[in-house]
Chains A and B, each alone.
Chain A
Amino acid sequence: MSRPAFSPEGVTLGVCLVALGILWTLSNLGRVEMLPVLRTWWPLSLALWGVLELVDLAVRRSSGRS
């Protein structure tokens, strides 16, 4: 059995790491203040993960029917 190519938690973790890296770099460059931005937007990681889980569920259901 092959491993599914799409993993919601993997994508979530990847996107969060990329976002965190970009934010940290911008903060080091003095473009943004890191703490206020993180404090405002960190819950989006939960929302992103939830959306990806729903997409994953829908894909698996549709592939199960066909």
Chain B
Amino acid sequence: MSARKIGLLILILGFGAVVETAWQVRGDLRIGPEGCRVIRGRFYGPSYSFEQTAERALPAGEVPRLEIRNAFGGVSVTAGAPGVVKVRLRKVVFLPTEEKARAFADRIELRLSGEGSLVKVGTNREDVSRGEEAGFETHLEIEAPPETVAEVRSEHGPVGLAGIGSADVVSSFDGVSVERLAGALKLESRNGDVRASGIGGGLEVSSRHGRVDVADVAGATKLDVEHGDVSARTTGALDASVKYGGFEAERVRGDLAVRGGHAELRASDVAGRAEVETSFAGIHLARVGGDVRATAQHGEVTAEDVGGRLFAETTHGDVRLERVDGPVQAIADRGGVQASGLAKGATVRTTAGDVTIDGFAGPVEVEAERASVRLAPRAAIAASITASATNGEVRLDVPEGSRLDLDAESRRGELRADVPGFASSETSGEPGRGHRMAGKLGAGGVVVRLRADGDIALEAKPAAAIADRAVAKPALTATVEAPPPAPAPAEAPKAASPPAAESAPAAPSSPPKPPEAPPER
């Protein structure tokens, strides 16, 4: 191998290694203040904690409003006593000695401002952190009246809200957990997992990197998620945009609309319509009460127990359907269609994929290119059937009691009609050369028109129901599972090195705390 090739190989692999490393640590590693490191938006190194508390009485008869700003540290808001907002600030200072840390912590102030029912909570971080003498976190633990409307802006630190009125949260670099809100939640997260459960109003979530779990949302739910999986359980009408992640929805008490990209979509028990599209992955639907429209590029579509009409379109993937109460339209480009239990007929078009429909009623029209068609109505044929297969065969089961007018032509194959009572009125050509047949079964009735390049075969079958069972209705009243435990929002970061002594807190009333983190060696 020449030096040029070795050089290029090293260059490409080195480039790939850099890209993979950058992907792993994206947005996580940055140069921190002296004496500590900043990894994943948190400080690491020796630290000392100090506390400060404050409270503010609220005017009676007004809905309390909280505006919380925090850059480094957790934010926790929980329901407390009516008429008062209590705030506890925990300052975690990353300096090598207690003396230095205490002196620095004395400069960090908890600030409560605002008038009337508005309470603004923050710190003087911007004044203190100028020059970056030390790294420090400010963890805010707030108790507010249950009807509080909260607005949270957090940069580096987990956010946890529980038991208040409604919230508007923007978080940049950590997880967000919200539970038991009486009203609506609007949430924007850039990096970090999102959990929201027990939301009494509407829910709007925008997330860029992280998993999103929502459960038990009374109102309409709107999700915009990239680079993370989505799970939605028991929601109102659900509208979602999902890229580069999986999507799973259960129990949607309204319409479902999902626009996916590189995202596998799964939804079950949808009360209303389902309109879903994705690419490079499949769509899987079960128990949809209304109409379905599913489009998958480079992916398959499966649907079972659909109460309304169904439109499915795929490229490079099959369409598989079970038990559909409404009319079906299925288009598969380089894919096949397998369906059973279609109550109101189907229009099917495929290229390079066979069509099998087992159990149907209503008119059926099938066009298959470079593929074969097999139709098994199970019940007596009572509506028109048209099927054509280029470079393929057509097979039709004829249940007892069917009455039809047949018009069939096999261009290069053989034509057979093994059906008792079938009376041929016209035949022309011969097997392999334009074999054509027309005739009646019973007294005639619906038109059955079959065309194929290959064989055409009609075979008598006993009559039966078109499906083994009726279309299942969406189950929307299932017990809601408890959401997974939320992360402690205001927890101090774990030090990267073994424990060491920590100073007593600055507040005179606060007792000293056990060792938290040692100086780094």
Encoded as 1 (CB less than 8 Å from any B CB) or 0, chain A from 26 to 50 comes to 0000000001101100110110010
B19, A42: Cβ atoms under 8 Å? yes
B416 at the interface (CB under 8 A from A): no
B15, A42: Cβ atoms under 8 Å? yes
B19, A46: Cβ atoms under 8 Å? no
Residue among B4, B12, B15, B244 with most chain A CB within 10 A? B12
Q: What chain B residues lie within 8 Å of A49 (beta carbons)?
A: 8, 12
Least CB distance, B22 to chain A, in whole angstroms: 6
B521 at the interface (CB under 8 A from A): no
Given known contacts A9-B4, A9-B5, A39 and B20 CB-to-CB distance under 8 angstroms: yes
B12, A46: Cβ atoms under 8 Å? yes
Encoded as 1 (CB less than 8 Å from any A CB) or 0, chain B from 471 to 495 comes to 0000000000000000000000000
B16 at the interface (CB under 8 A from A): yes
A46 to B8, CA, bound (A): 10
Least CB distance, B10 to chain A, in whole angstroms: 12
Which residues B452-474 have CB closer than 8 A to chain A? none
CB-contact partner of B26 in A12, A35, A46, under 8 A: A35
Q: What chain A residues lie within 8 Å of B4 (beta carbons)?
A: 9
Least CB distance, A43 to chain B, in whole angstroms: 7
Residue among B15, B19, B23 with most chain A CB within 10 A? B19
Residue of A nearest to B16 (CB): A42
B88 at the interface (CB under 8 A from A): no
Least CB distance, B382 to chain A, in whole angstroms: 52
CB-contact partner of B227 in A12, A36, A43, A46, under 8 A: A36
Q: What chain A residues lie within 8 Å of B23 (beta carbons)?
A: 35-36, 39
Which residues B14-66 have CB closer than 8 A to chain A? 15-16, 19-20, 22-23, 26
Least CB distance, A4 to chain B, in whole angstroms: 12
A36 to B227, CA, bound (A): 9
Q: What chain A residues lie within 8 Å of B15 (beta carbons)?
A: 42
A46 to B4, CA, bound (A): 15
Residue of A nearest to B12 (CB): A45
Least CB distance, B343 to chain A, in whole angstroms: 43
B8, A12: Cβ atoms under 8 Å? yes
Q: What chain A residues lie within 8 Å of B19 (beta carbons)?
A: 35, 38-39, 42
Q: What chain B residues lie within 8 Å of A58 (beta carbons)?
A: none
Residue of B nearest to A8 (CB): B5
A39 to B15, CA, bound (A): 10
Q: What chain A residues lie within 8 Å of B244 (beta carbons)?
A: 36
A13 to B20, CA, bound (A): 20
Q: What chain B residues lie within 8 Å of A12 (beta carbons)?
A: 8, 12
A38 to B5, CA, bound (A): 22
Q: What chain B residues lie within 8 Å of A43 (beta carbons)?
A: 16
Q: What chain A residues lie within 8 Å of B5 (beta carbons)?
A: 9
Least CB distance, B263 to chain A, in whole angstroms: 13
A43 to B13, CA, bound (A): 9
A9 to B12, CA, bound (A): 11
A35 to B244, CA, bound (A): 13
Residue of A nearest to B13 (CB): A46
Residue of B nearest to A10 (CB): B4
Q: What chain B residues lie within 8 Å of A35 (beta carbons)?
A: 19, 22-23, 26
Q: Which residues of A contact B (CB under 8 A)?
A: 9, 12-13, 16, 35-36, 38-39, 42-43, 45-46, 49
Q: List 16 A-B contacts (CB under 8 A).
A: A9-B5, A9-B8, A12-B8, A12-B12, A13-B8, A35-B19, A35-B22, A35-B23, A35-B26, A39-B20, A42-B12, A42-B15, A42-B16, A42-B19, A46-B12, A49-B12
Given contacts A39-B20, A42-B16, A42-B19, 18 further A-B contacts (CB under 8 A): A9-B4, A9-B8, A12-B8, A12-B12, A16-B12, A35-B19, A35-B22, A35-B23, A35-B26, A36-B227, A38-B19, A39-B19, A39-B23, A42-B12, A42-B15, A45-B12, A46-B12, A49-B12
Minimum-distance CB pairs A-B, first 10: A9-B8, A39-B23, A38-B19, A42-B16, A45-B12, A39-B19, A42-B19, A9-B4, A9-B5, A35-B23
